[in-house]
C-alpha cells in the first residue's frame, strides 16, 4: 500500500520519466532534468567517431588528394578545424594544405569562413547565387547534417560532390540500452524523449527495426518528443511526430521546455468524493499529496482517466497490462489501485460491464 510522500514532489517534472538520447553532453542534460525532478533514462542510440580514429575519414582525405577536384566548399567551421587537426596527426597536413592553397575555397556559413581564415586560407562566401567553377567539387560537412547538406549542395551546384564527413555517427557497439529504450517508449513507460541531433532520430529508428512503427506511434501520441533545435525537430516532423522545441537551441532551454510541456499533459480530474487527482507518468497527486503505485495499477488508472468516466470492460483494461496478464490480473490491479490511493470509491464496479473512474 502506498504511503503519501511529499518528498517525491521535488520539481515540476516529479513523477515523469524523461529519456535522454544525446551522445555528447548527455550527462549535462540528464542533470538539468533531474534537477527539475525528473526520473531520467539515458540511452544514446548512436556515437560519433573521433576524427583522428576515423579510418573512413582518412580514406576520403587520401582519395580527395588523389582526385584534386579544385573546388572545396566548407559547410562547418568546427568540422574543418577537427579535420585539419586529424590530418596533421596522420602526417598528411603539409600535403593537404598545399592542395587547399591551390584550390578555390568557398564558405557556406560565417563560422566556416572564419575557420578558413584562422587556418590561413583565402576563401569566398558561398551564398548560392552562382555555382563554383568546374564540374567537380568537394565539401567538408559535419556528420550530424550529412544527408540534408549533401542534398542541398547537389541541388545548388548540379555537380558530383565528394563528401569529407567529419564527426561521422554510427550505432554504438552495445545496442542493449537503446533497444530497452525503444521497448520502454512503445510500452509508454517513458513520458518524454529528448533529441539533440537529427542523427539520433534516425539511429533510434534503426535500432527499433521491426518495432519502428510502434515507436513512431508512441511519439505521435502519448510520449512527448522534445527537440533541442530546428534541425532535430524537422527530422521528427518528417515522420509525422509533433516536436516540442525551445525558442533557443540550448540544453538549459530544452530542459525548461520539457518542464513546462510535460506537466501540461498530466491528467487532472475531480472525483465525485470531492478529491482532486493529478495523474503523472509514475506518480499520482491526490489533494496535493504524492502517492506511488506499481506499474499495473498505474496503467489501469491512466486508462480510466483517459476514458473520463466511461465504463471500460475487463478486456479493454487488459490491453493496458503487460502481455500474458488475464482477467484476474485486472481485478488485482483495480484492488491495488483503490488501496494504494486509499480511496475505495475512486473506481466504481459496473456489474457485468467493467469499471469506471468516479469523476464529476
pLDDT at 133 over 60: no
One domain for residues 58 and 161: yes
Q: Of 92, 100, 91, nearest to 120 (Cα)?
A: 100
Residues 204 and 219 placed together within one structural domain of the fold: yes
Residue 146 pLDDT: 76
pLDDT tens digits for range 286-338: 998 899 888 889 999 999 998 989 999 999 998 888 766 676 889 999 999 99
pTM beyond cutoff 0.75: yes
The string of pLDDT tens digits covering residues 267-285 is 999 999 999 999 999 999 9
Same domain, 254 and 278: no
pLDDT at 130 (0 to 100): 54
Residue 127 banded pLDDT, cuts 50, 70, 90: low
Domain boundary among 130, 151, 169: 169
The strand pair at 267-270 and 276-279 is best described as antiparallel
DSSP string covering 270-315: EBTTS-EEEE-SS-EEETTEEE---HHHHHHHHHHHHHTT--B-HH
Same domain, 254 and 154: no
If asked whether residues 200 and 341 sit together in one domain, one would say no
In a shared domain, residues 259 and 272: no
Whether 108 and 159 map to the same domain: the answer is yes
Residue 63: partners with Cβ closer than 8 Å, 6 or more residues away:
162
Number of domains in the chain: 3
Based on the domain organization, do 156 and 241 belong to the same domain? no
343 within 8 A of 275, measured Cβ to Cβ: yes
Let me know whether 20 and 35 are in one domain.
yes
- Whether residue 1 lies inside any domain: the answer is no
Give dist(CA 336, CA 276) in Å, integer: 19
Say which CATH number the domain at 327 has.
1.10.10.10
Same domain, 208 and 303: no
Domain that holds residue 59: 51-169
Kindly tell me the burial class for residue 31, based on how many C-beta atoms sit within 10 Å of its own C-beta (0-12, 13-18, 19 or more): middle
Centre a 10 Å sphere on the Cβ of residue 42 and count the other Cβ atoms it contains. Answer: 16
- The residue among 169, 186, 201 that closes a domain is 169
Contact 64, 165 (CB under 8 A): no
Give the model's pLDDT for residue 1: 46
Weakest-pLDDT range from 75-89, 155-169, 260-274: 155-169
Boundary of a domain, candidates 212, 247, 265: 265
Residue 125: what pLDDT?
80
Please name every residue paired with 10 in a beta bridge, in sequence order, or none if there are none: none
In this structure, what CATH number is given to the domain that contains residue 142? 3.40.50.10090
Whole-number Å distance between alpha carbons of 100 and 109: 18
Averaged confidence pLDDT in the chain: 90
**56 and 110 share a domain?**
yes
Q: Is residue 242 domain-resident?
A: yes
Task: Check the CA dihedral 279-280-283-288 and report its sign.
Answer: negative
Amino acid at each position: 500500500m502506498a504511503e503519501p510522500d511529499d518528498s517525491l514532489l521535488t520539481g515540476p517534472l516529479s513523477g515523469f520519466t524523461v529519456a535522454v538520447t544525446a551522445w555528447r553532453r548527455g550527462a549535462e542534460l540528464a542533470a538539468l532534468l533531474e534537477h527539475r525532478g525528473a526520473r531520467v533514462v539515458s540511452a544514446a542510440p548512436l556515437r560519433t567517431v573521433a576524427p583522428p580514429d576515423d579510418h573512413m575519414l582518412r580514406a576520403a582525405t587520401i582519395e580527395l588528394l588523389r582526385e584534386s577536384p579544385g573546388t572545396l566548399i566548407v559547410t562547418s567551421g568546427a568540422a574543418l578545424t577537427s579535420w585539419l587537426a586529424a590530418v596533421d596527426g596522420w602526417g598528411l597536413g603539409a600535403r593537404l594544405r598545399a592542395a587547399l592553397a591551390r584550390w578555390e575555397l568557398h564558405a557556406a556559413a560565417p563560422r566556416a569562413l572564419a575557420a578558413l581564415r584562422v587556418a590561413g586560407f583565402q576563401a569566398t562566401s558561398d551564398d548560392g547565387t552562382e555555382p563554383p567553377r568546374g564540374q567537380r567539387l568537394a565539401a567538408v560537412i559535419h556528420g550530424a547534417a550529412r544527408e540534408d547538406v549533401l542534398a542541398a549542395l547537389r541541388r545548388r551546384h548540379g555537380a558530383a560532390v565528394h563528401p569529407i564527413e567529419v564527426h561521422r555517427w554510427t550505432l554504438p557497439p552495445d545496442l542493449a540500452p537503446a533497444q530497452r529504450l525503444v521497448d520502454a517508449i512503445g510500452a509508454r513507460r517513458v513520458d518524454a524523449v529528448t533529441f539533440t541531433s537529427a542523427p539520433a532520430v534516425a539511429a533510434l529508428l534503426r535500432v527499433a527495426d521491426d518495432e519502428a512503427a510502434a515507436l513512431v506511434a508512441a511519439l505521435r501520441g502519448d510520449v512527448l518528443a522534445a527537440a533541442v533545435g530546428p534541425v532535430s525537430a524537422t527530422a521528427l516532423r518528417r515522420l509525422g511526430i509533433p516536436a516540442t522545441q525551445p525558442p533557443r537551441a540550448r540544453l538549459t532551454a530544452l530542459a525548461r521546455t520539457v518542464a513546462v510541456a510535460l506537466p501540461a499533459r498530466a491528467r487532472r480530474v475531480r472525483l465525485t468524493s470531492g478529491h482532486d487527482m493529478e495523474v503523472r507518468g509514475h506518480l499520482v497527486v491526490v489533494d496535493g499529496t504524492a502517492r506511488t503505485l506499481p506499474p499495473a495499477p498505474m496503467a489501469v488508472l491512466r486508462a480510466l482517466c483517459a476514458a473520463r468516466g466511461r465504463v471500460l470492460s475487463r478486456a479493454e483494461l487488459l490491453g493496458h497490462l503487460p502481455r500474458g496478464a488475464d482477467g484476474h490480473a485486472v481485478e488485482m490491479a483495480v484492488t491495488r489501485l483503490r488501496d494504494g490511493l486509499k480511496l475505495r470509491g475512486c473506481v466504481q464496479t459496473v456489474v457485468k460491464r467493467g469499471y469506471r473512474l468516479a469523476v464529476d
